[in-house]
Structure 1
Amino acid sequence: MQYRLLAVFLAAVVSSPVVHAGSSDSVLAISTDNDLFAPTQTDRDYTAGMAITYSSNSEEFIGNPVSRISRRLDGFLLPGIGTDTEKAKGAALEFGVYGFTPEEIKATEINLDDRPYSSLVYFSSSQSYQSLGNDSGWTTSMTLGVLGLDVFKAGQNSVHKVIGSERARGWGHQISNGGEPTFRYSAAYHQYLDNSAPDQQFKVTYFGSVGYLTEFGAALVFRDGLISSPDNRFNPELMAYGERAPGVAASGGRENYFWGGMALKARAYNAFLQGQFRDSDHELDADDLNILLAEVWAGYTHSFVASTELSYVLRVQSSEIKDGTGNRTLAWGGLVFSKRL
């Protein structure tokens, strides 16, 4: 299944024309997250992820077959999206994988006092829309994935072997072990604030998603410095763990800026902790989880020669689990290397 998803991603990108500088902005980005990139240097909770993203504001790419399906879903769920007053201004396709582990990874038995192992292989399609006055906009994302495959397990243990760390031995108990399809649809409304300037931008975002992560919330986002990428495709508040497609910005020039923000969300369901339709060896109940979550992040983006950029972000999130060993703050760092095509 994971290879079919990768084939769909590559086919969609290859079949979509790449329009070069002067007529549009198109970006290919490779991103990786790891809790070892954070100052705490832990190896637990959201432990790592990797993704490849292609985004563009060209009409040809916005009209690719996968994005057309995603935009039809937008039009059905959000009437008015895609019309003359809210036009599509960009699209992105992403393929990735990420995973979660408990604190103790050397043991093969289940620790019912901590979080379960879980992982996701996914393919997502995202769109950004902007109002005629450019003072507001929407971002939507449709994600198809598979829980419980051995892809992340193999990758994690291969890396641990190279660096001399302990192998994670409890993957046989992961959520939906062996594989289970899953889905998520998300939508966010952005209000760009009046005090924004070319070198200083602020916005408020109201967001929600339904599927393997079901939640609703609001975020305040800023960036400050030398900025050339458009507002409507800079959405770090919409990065769900390793999923970055809604937030990869395409830059038409040099950039050098700091960015950050904070979000408060109410989460009703998390398949990475609660499981899905299949029975799993270790699942948590809704009563075991915190409904209200707070998240803060800070990052830095710098452009180099040949239209390349490197970004780093540190994220901290309040505990997802109420009690026991799993009741702890989550922290992880991320790197994004992007190339304008």
Structure 2
Amino acid sequence: MICKIRELLGIRAMQNLKQQLLTTLITLTLGAPLALASTPQEKTEYDSISNYHSGQAIVGTINAEKNPHRGWIWETEDEPYDTGWALYVDNDLFALRDSDKDYTGGISLTLAGKRATEYAFSLDPALNWVDKISGFSSFHDNGDRQLHSLEVGFTVFTPEVITEEAAQLDDRPYASLLFLSNTQESIDFENDAAYISSFSVGILGSKIISELQTQLHKTLGSDEPVGWENQISDGGELTARYSVAKQSLLHFDYQGDYNLEISTTSQASIGYITAASWGLAARIGEFDTPWYSFRPQFNDYSEKSASLAGLNRQVEEFYFWGGFNIHARAYNAFLQGQFKDSNHTFDASDMRILVADAWVGVTKQFQTGWRLSYLLRGQSSEVKQGNADRSVVWGGLMISKGW
């Protein structure tokens, strides 16, 4: 597994193995599970807004007045340069419990729109290149619309006791990730499907993150974490991750007093987290944003791969949401380490292959376009033994604004 990840990071002799592994992951992800998940849906009468498929008009159009959340959300065919931003803050304290352990926190900022492809530091060229190698670019090429976003942030993990300097071999290790990520999403309006690919690069074990948490605890007067020298890849190590997914609108009801949407997602990734997963998400309440803008099942810790489509609508929304994921996880660098020696890691034999997570949340969008969300999320234990064998719970706050 480590060798496969090493080759994905572009060290040497990567072409043949990457092609094989990525193609296998995509086949598993977009194949059998979706045959069950993507059941045909009753379509509304077609009306006034045309959707284009590779420059040609698709047979039929979506009734935008009745179901604006299923159609396109900008007047122009092209994606606008700037479609909004979102700030995500995760912390176990937001789960309303007195603890500081496991996934203890993370912060990320997402910038959406065509600009995500044009920044000098954008990873969009690298994402396009990997998409071509994996064959996933065909889904983007055949999509009716493309959306782009760029995300930067960090993630922090700690053991239960942070006042001990020695490595706690029966608990999870300290770990951190400083990352930059680009995401591309293609919408297939006719089949109510969205295809998403993301490419992230980052640094495991950065001293910047450990110092940041230490200084924050000093400022707040709480216990200082003193065991950061035992973190995964202490001192810093380059890492990366590539993921692909398909999201499908499984069921919808926009005719009652409240709107209802249920979607399914199949996903695969390779890199510092290597896994395949299937999940279901639902929301109910008053909302006008399109279904493909809502995908909490993509939130792996602080990385959101978020779509901000539709946040430019100047309408009020208030809805509740929830869902679950089932992961078949083959590798997790935050627990197993990477290439660099670490004082404490878990072997593959210590890890559970099947992991589940579930979440509930609430969102309020104001007529000005500002949006606030709260999330409570839990994940089953990933380690088989010791004090590390426990479920993980955290909360999140999200602030976003569309233009």
- Taking structure 1 as the reference length, the TM-score comes to 0.88
Matched, 1:306 2:363: no
Residue 12 (structure 1) aligns with? none
Please say if residues 124 and 183 of structure 2, whose CA atoms lie closer than 8 Å, have aligned partners that are also in contact.
Answer: yes
Give the Cα–Cα distance (whole angstroms) in 2 for the partners of residues 279 and 153 of structure 1. Answer: 18
Deviation at 1:322, TM superposition (A): 0.7
Deviation at 1:232, TM superposition (A): 2.1
Deviation at 1:233, TM superposition (A): 2.8
Instruction: Give the 5 Å matches for 1:82-121.
Output: 82-83=140-141, 85-121=142-178
Residue 15 (structure 1) aligns with? none
| Identity between Structure 1 and Structure 2 (%) | 38
Aligned residue type for 1:135: D
Rg larger in structure: 2
Deviates more, 1:71-80 or 1:86-95: 71-80
1:217 paired residue among 277, 293, 298: 277
Deviates more, 1:266-275 or 1:298-307: 298-307
Please say if residues 216 and 265 of structure 1, whose CA atoms lie closer than 8 Å, have aligned partners that are also in contact.
Answer: yes
1:315 paired residue among 377, 380, 389: 377
Matched, 1:128 2:128: no
1:273 paired residue among 335, 340, 345: 335
Per-residue Cα deviation, 1:5-31 (whole angstroms, up to 9, x for no partner): xxxxxxxxxxxxxxxx86557111111
Aligned residue type for 1:303: Q
Instruction: Give the 5 Å matches for 1:169-188.
Output: 169-188=226-245
Residue 227 (structure 1) aligns with? 287
Deviates more, 1:105-114 or 1:150-159: 150-159
Instruction: Quote the RMSD (CA, aligned, Å).
Output: 2.0
SS in 2 for 1:246: coil
Residue 267 (structure 2) aligns with? 207
Residue 40 (structure 2) aligns with? none
For structure 1, the 5+ residue unaligned runs are: 1-20
SS in 2 for 1:93: strand
Aligned residue type for 1:219: G
Q: After TM superposition, where is structure 1 displaced by more than 6 Å over at least 4 residues in a row?
A: none
Residue 40 (structure 1) aligns with? 97
Aligned residue type for 1:161: K
Return closer, same or farther for 1:61/1:51 CA change in 2, 3 Å cut-off: closer
Residue 338 (structure 1) aligns with? 400
Give the Cα–Cα distance (whole angstroms) in 1 for the partners of residues 110 and 95 of structure 2. Answer: 23
Give the Cα–Cα distance (whole angstroms) in 2 for the partners of residues 71 and 193 of structure 1. Answer: 28
SS in 1 for 2:289: coil
SS in 1 for 2:335: helix
Aligned residue type for 2:237: E
Give the Cα–Cα distance (whole angstroms) in 2 for the partners of residues 225 and 271 of structure 1. Answer: 38
Deviation at 1:308, TM superposition (A): 0.8
Give the Cα–Cα distance (whole angstroms) in 2 for the partners of residues 318 and 329 of structure 1. Answer: 4
For structure 2, the 5+ residue unaligned runs are: 1-73
1:192 paired residue among 241, 249, 256: 249
Return closer, same or farther for 1:101/1:133 CA change in 2, 3 Å cut-off: same
SS in 1 for 2:292: helix
Per-residue Cα deviation, 1:218-272 (whole angstroms, up to 9, x for no partner): 0011111122222223211011101113355541232211111011111000000
- Taking structure 2 as the reference length, the TM-score comes to 0.75
* Number of residue pairs matched by the alignment: 319
Deviation at 1:158, TM superposition (A): 2.0
Per-residue Cα deviation, 1:272-299 (whole angstroms, up to 9, x for no partner): 0000011111111111111100100011
Deviation at 1:130, TM superposition (A): 1.3
Per-residue Cα deviation, 1:116-156 (whole angstroms, up to 9, x for no partner): 00000000000111114041121111000000002221221
Matched, 1:166 2:223: yes
Deviation at 1:86, TM superposition (A): 2.0
Give the Cα–Cα distance (whole angstroms) in 1 for the partners of residues 219 and 138 of structure 2. Answer: 52
Give the Cα–Cα distance (whole angstroms) in 2 for the partners of residues 247 and 322 of structure 1. Answer: 35
